Chains A and B, each alone.
Chain A
Amino acid sequence: MAFVKAQKSKAYFKRFQVKFKRRRMGKTDYRARIRLINQDKNKYNTPKYRFVVRFTNKDIICQIVSASIAGDHVLAAAYAHELPHYGLEVGLTNYSAAYCTGLLLSRRVLKKLEMDEEYEGNVEATGEDYSVEPAESRRPFRALLDVGLIKTTTGNRVFGALKGALDGGLDIPHSDKRFAGFNKDSKQLDAEVHRKYIYGGHIASYMRTLMEDEPEKYQSHFSEYIKRGIEADNIEEVYKKVHAAIRADPTEKKSGKQPPKEHKRYNLKKLTYEERKTKLIERLNALNSAAGNDDEDEEDNE
């Protein structure tokens, strides 16, 4: 066996500086976080809210968060898995669902702060760039978009969520450069294309293409849609209904389930000293008896 020189010596480990925990986990971009959280010192304790959008494989998480030394405080949150309450059960991570989640969050926040009558936002989603106008009594609710670690390309779903929040009535500084339908050459947002994406038009066109070319794939891919009777033509109506339902009642629905009193254990429980000793004694006894049996067998054989 070849002699391999130990690469990581004790000295290496002694001098090793770990990155921040959330950086080690690859979850937080601290450079961006510092810049998002930093509040002007002459504004003292005024909270600075971030509109956080995160995508998992099957869910969308939208939150309004303010930072503090003890930990971030979430003012309101909306998840894509809540959309079934509003009539949307399939396609919970697409651009349209992101729009719905952003809209749901913004209506929820405004309702919580009793600003929902003042700031209706853009009721009819047209895909055009819409910014909230300040009303007479209170200034609009301001938050800063926090995308996390995703690549901000044109047409990304986080900007779908952003559009939903803007149309809901939040004041989030933005530009229309990254909305779906922005033309790089003409440097203009094509509102029609954006509107198509908000109402699932891109899904409808894919459905039509599949129906023509590969009907079996259409059946397998869109099986859940077909089960619920959602077809290429009535996708837009579905989303219109969802938007209306969200605006009608954005409050959270508490599920009837109560959290279990005893939490499920995911790791082994640590044994006490006595338990470990008794376990050892049992193991030794078992070994001895097994060895004893072997001896007896040998003696018997002999």
Chain B
Amino acid sequence: MPAGHGQRARTRDLFARPFRKKGPTHLSTYLRIYKIGEYVDVKVNGSIHKGMPHKFYHGRTGRVWNVTKRAIGVEVNKQVGNRIIKKRIHVRVEHVQPSRCHEEVLLRIKKNDQLKAEAKAQGKIISTKRKPEGPKPGFMVEGATLETVTPIPYDVVNDLKGGY
């Protein structure tokens, strides 16, 4: 029999539910809200058969571009040949999780806004730019003693004692 290349081909393990997590999905999946522009991870929930994305998109992260009654529109990058296309797919909310890839940026934005507001209140000028790790600072070596090592002249008698 030939191989078969259907939509869910080769997804026996990929779409399987994790160990001891089979059965109904927990309610917070349905209670989360997604806004346009947020980043989401696409992770297929094999027990929900509707609104499943193709296996290519499992594990991809994209931005939300549309919100409908039960599904989210996600814009994901896909390499086709020699270029990367932005593909727009619709996925039910059970197959989507909020992504933490953007979390650090959002926190930094908040912190920077706060710092800038404080600096403005005090009249100071600050730079909120991140700086890469520079070279380590110089230090004095403590407790160093000098031990001079010199070569000793070759002594035939002593060396041959063992094996001759």
Q: Do A and B come from one complex?
A: yes
Question: Which residues 35-63 in A have Cβ within 8 Å of B in the complex?
Answer: 37-42, 44-45
Once the chains are docked, how many angstroms separate the CA of A17 from the CA of B93? 24
Query: Does B143 sit within 8 A of A, measured CB to CB?
Result: no
Question: Which residues 122-163 in B have Cβ within 8 Å of A in the complex?
Answer: none
Query: Does A67 sit within 8 A of B, measured CB to CB?
Result: yes
User: Among the listed stretches B53-61, B67-75, B77-85, B106-114, which one makes contact with chain A, having 4 or more residues with CB under 8 Å of it?
Assistant: B67-75
Question: Which residues 16-39 in A have Cβ within 8 Å of B in the complex?
Answer: 16-17, 19-20, 30-31, 33-34, 37-39
A12–chain B nearest beta-carbon distance, Å: 13
Once the chains are docked, how many angstroms separate the CA of A38 from the CA of B50? 15
Residues in A neighbouring B71, C-beta threshold 8 A: 41
B20 touches A37 (CB 8 A): no
Contact A40 B35, CB 8 Å, known A20-B24, A31-B24: no
A185–chain B nearest beta-carbon distance, Å: 39
Once the chains are docked, how many angstroms separate the CA of A44 from the CA of B31? 9
Query: Does B15 sit within 8 A of A, measured CB to CB?
Result: no
A41 touches B33 (CB 8 A): yes
A40 touches B31 (CB 8 A): no
Residue total for B at the interface (Cβ-Cβ under 8 A): 22
Residues in A neighbouring B72, C-beta threshold 8 A: 41
Residues in A neighbouring B5, C-beta threshold 8 A: none
Residue total for A at the interface (Cβ-Cβ under 8 A): 20
A41 touches B22 (CB 8 A): no
A30 touches B67 (CB 8 A): no
A38 touches B67 (CB 8 A): no
Once the chains are docked, how many angstroms separate the CA of A69 from the CA of B29? 9
A34 touches B24 (CB 8 A): yes
B93 touches A41 (CB 8 A): yes
Once the chains are docked, how many angstroms separate the CA of A69 from the CA of B68? 21
B97–chain A nearest beta-carbon distance, Å: 13
Residues in B neighbouring A31, C-beta threshold 8 A: 24
B30 touches A37 (CB 8 A): yes
B150–chain A nearest beta-carbon distance, Å: 64
Query: Does A68 sit within 8 A of B, measured CB to CB?
Result: yes
A254–chain B nearest beta-carbon distance, Å: 32
Query: Does B21 sit within 8 A of A, measured CB to CB?
Result: yes
B157–chain A nearest beta-carbon distance, Å: 71
Contact A68 B23, CB 8 Å, known A41-B68, A41-B72, A42-B67: no
B70 touches A40 (CB 8 A): yes
A69 touches B31 (CB 8 A): yes
Chain A: which residue is nearest B24 at the CB level? A30
A69 touches B69 (CB 8 A): no
B24 touches A69 (CB 8 A): no
B30 touches A44 (CB 8 A): no
What 0/1 readout, one digit per residue, does chain A (74-104) give for beta carbons within 8 Å of chain B? 0000000000000000000000000000000
Interface residue ranges, A against B (CB under 8 Å): 15-17, 19-20, 30-31, 33-34, 37-42, 44-45, 67-69
